[in-house]
Amino acid sequence: MRKSSANKVMKKTVVGITIVGKDREGIVATFTNFAFSKGGNIEKVNQNVIKGLFGMYLEVSFSKTIDVKKFDSDIQSLAKKEKMDVSTHHETNSQKNIAVLVTKEPLCLETIITNAKSLKGKISVIIGTEKTLEPLAKKAKIPFIAIEEKIQDKAEEKIIKICKQYDIDLISLARYMRILSPNFVWRYPNRIINIHPSLLPAFPGALAYAQAYERGTKIVGVTSHYVTENLDQGPIIFQDSFKVDPNDTLEKIKTKGQKLEADTLFKAMKMHLENKLEVRWRKVHIK
């Protein structure tokens, strides 16, 4: 929850609620009934179960003023009773907090930092799988935390704690070379943006440029998309491309592509933070 000196939220409040935990019967009704009991109207509900892990996202609107602190306290009490991990996201007009996840490719991060002043948000923390890009963060005076844990589930536990600590609204995967699990992704529905080096769904995976080069592709593109539990299958935000000359080397294609990646990722972040993107039926609509 965003910290505020005011306990009250103005009329027509929208609250996003994520519930993650062990799947069992009746859990959906428990939390939807809680929303109704507080005078909420359920605008959206999405639920998934994978290998016994349950995830649900509720978007609840309130036409009357609600006490945010009491709402969050009550739902956390319910979460403890039901042994579920619950978080709430309150839409406000205040500055959004951004976490940027990186590995070692610098250009996306450099572009985000260089243009940060034009974002309606603050880069609150940079999280790396290694320390390669730490100097960029230090130069920009942004906290950098390296999580070098090789077991992804354990790494994600640490990332979740950091994101809660910094009250993160948006997560940007700036060439973060790890696959996020449903346990992580379900906690930030349509709030994790990734950049992929191809025009999805073609050439999925990490070696997209090499595949394009080997196949003699005439056009190479990039795709920014919201992250879901299905790898590289989330709602597409923006796509862009460039022409490939037959004489272009693989390195030249990579150089062109990485520049386009950085620009397209930044554009998607900027539009998201300006509330200009809306996901309906797995498609992104620009408002």
In whole angstroms, how large is the CA radius of gyration of the chain? 20
Helix axes 27-37 and 68-82, enclosed angle (nearest 10)? 160
For 24, the token pair is 């069992």
Residue for token digits 């790890």? 178
How many whole angstroms separate alpha carbon 124 and alpha carbon 99?
A: 6
Question: Is 232 noted as a catalytic residue in this protein?
Answer: yes
For 207, the token pair is 């070696």
| Active-site pick, 153, 167, 169, 232 | 232
Instruction: Give the residue from 60, 79, 82 showing the smallest Cα distance to 12.
Output: 60
Q: Where are the alpha helices (DSSP H) in the chain?
A: 27-37, 68-82, 107-114, 134-139, 152-165, 182-185, 208-214, 250-273
> Which residues participate in catalysis according to the annotation?
232
